[in-house]
Amino acid sequence: MSYCICVDIGATRLRVGLGIRSGEILDIVEKSTREIVLEWKDELSIARGIEDLIRRLLSKNNVDLDKIVGIGIGSIGPLDVRRGVIVHPPNLPLADIDYVVKDYLEDKFGKKVVMLNDCVTAVWGEKWYGAGKECSNIVYVTFSTGIGGGVIVNDTLLLGADGNAHEVGHVTVDPRPDALRCGCGGIGHWEAYCSGIGIPRFCKLLADNELKSLYERSLIKGVDFQNYDLFTRKFFEYLKQNDEFCKQVFEKISFFNAVGMSTVIHYYNPEIIIIGGSIAINNSDEILQFRKYLNLFLMRGIRVPEFRISPLGDYAILKGAIALVFNTPPTYVKFVRE
């Protein structure tokens, strides 16, 4: 049997799995990305962390390196896809570093390495092993710390001039000059309002202004806006308990989600939009509520796609990484050659 190594480089966890062609993941080992970055503090930190985990995984499972076909990687961005480098990742503790990944692993293991953005990898995983199997036009949208996307049009994985054809989280949903500023530097972006990091900021804006009196009576009052991970979890917990402040904020979030999704629909004409990421997976009924506002924004006659919460869930990136090895996207092959 032949195997592949699948890698998910996340802001919190680095996961390395042993995969086979059917998409099954036989075993996973993981380590904190932060720890790995702070252990070496240089441009090879992440690559060395992956190397260690691969060696551990192979010996644990008694698999010889000869049996490995290649290494697929879905990574946090931004990426220089041609060089296989993570460029100044804002969500890692040492953001000034460019992390060299691909060349190092190719040298160490002598195997093909295919590395793409995590959401681009996830959409490829959904196409081969998940909700996109029957479709040629698929968009994957993730709601987690940020909002990310991956796009397949007519079976072609879109990469764009620099590999950024999928940055749907940065479409503008609020064009006013005093709109919230996004982590990327732009203003009024979808991610600035509706992501794990955006929701606390949007709540703060409304708590200071139009929803001030509701905030005073809200269960969420006192939860630290800066601790975005905890805040967003509490936000959905209290939303489900019918907290009035959370409910009113969430109506606005759903409205912006409809703006973002309608833009995605107009751009790519998908048959299906698969929604992943921890926020969507843990709060699927809530996240899908944007559908009631969708018609406000959609062009008449355009196909309304099916919306599905990702069946691959937390494994979408790892499964996508398996598909990157066994079914390498032709767009990628062409892209790295140019």
Nearer to Zn ion, 126 or 167 (CB): 167
Q: Considering the complex, what minimum distance in angstroms separates the CB of residue 229 from Zn ion?
A: 19
Q: Which of 7, 86, 141, 182 binds Zn ion (CB under 5 A)?
A: 182
Q: What crossing angle do the helices spanning 33-40 and 45-60 adopt, rounded to 10°?
A: 120
Query: Given the rule CB under 5 A, which of 80-88, 188-196, 257-265, 303-311 is the region that contacts Zn ion?
Result: 188-196
Closest CB to Zn ion: residue number: 182
CB-nearer residue toward Zn ion: 189 or 201: 189
**Which residue is associated with the tokens 């551990």?**
56
Question: Counting contacts by CB under 5 A, is residue 187 touching Zn ion?
Answer: no
Binding residues for Zn ion restricted to 160-179, rule: CB under 5 A: 170
Closest distance of CB 40 from Zn ion, Å: 30
Do β-strands 25-32 and 98-100 pair in parallel, antiparallel, or remain unpaired? unpaired
- Min dist CB 169 to Zn ion, Å, is 6
Q: Shortest approach of Zn ion to residue 168 CB, angstroms?
A: 10
**Segment contacting Zn ion by CB under 5 A, of 56-64, 65-73, 186-194, 326-334:** 186-194
Q: φ, ψ for residue 40 (rounded to 5)? A: -105, -30
Please say whether the beta carbons of 315 and 6 come within 8 A: no
CB of 195 to Zn ion, least distance (A): 9
Dist. CA 229–CA 262, nearest whole Å: 27
For residue 66, the tally of other CB atoms under 10 A from its CB is 6
Measured from the CB atom, the residue of 58 and 147 that comes closer to Zn ion is: 147
- Give the tokens for residue 105: 């692993």
Q: Does 201 bind Zn ion (CB under 5 A)?
A: no
Distance of closest approach, residue 208 Cβ to Zn ion, in angstroms: 22
Measured CA angle at 21 (ends 152, 138), to 5 deg:
15
Beginning with the edge strand found earlier in the chain, give each strand of the sheet holding 138-143 in spatial order. Answer: 156-157, 147-153, 138-143, 272-276, 306-309
**CA gap 52, 138 in Å, rounded:** 35
Nearest approach, Cβ of 271 to Zn ion (angstroms)?
A: 27
CB closer to Zn ion out of 15 and 170: 170
Q: Which CB atom, from 90 or from 330, has the smaller least distance to Zn ion?
A: 90
Contact assessment for residue 319 and residue 312, using Cβ atoms and an 8 Å cutoff:
yes
Shortest approach of Zn ion to residue 185 CB, angstroms?
7
Q: Does 325 bind Zn ion (CB under 5 A)?
A: no
User: Taking CB under 5 A as the rule, does residue 184 contact Zn ion?
Assistant: yes
Q: Does 186 interact with Zn ion (rule: CB under 5 A)?
A: yes
Task: Output 182 or 264, the one with its CB closest to Zn ion.
Answer: 182
Considering only 102, 166, 189, 319, the residue that binds Zn ion (CB under 5 A) is: 189
- Angstrom distance (rounded) from CA 86 to CA 84: 7
Cβ at position 181, least distance to Zn ion in Å: 9
Please name the amino acid found at residue 122: A
Please tell me the count of residues contacting Zn ion according to CB under 5 A.
Answer: 5
Name which of residues 56 to 115 contact Zn ion (CB under 5 A).
none
Residue 20, phi then psi, degrees to nearest 5: -130, 170
74, 320 in Cβ contact below 8 A?
yes
Nearer to Zn ion, 3 or 190 (CB): 190
**How far is residue 305's CA from residue 136's CA, in Å, rounded to a whole number?**
12
Calpha distance 302→304 (Å, rounded): 6
SS3 call for 72: strand
Q: Give the footprint of Zn ion on this chain (CB under 5 A).
A: 170, 182, 184, 186, 189
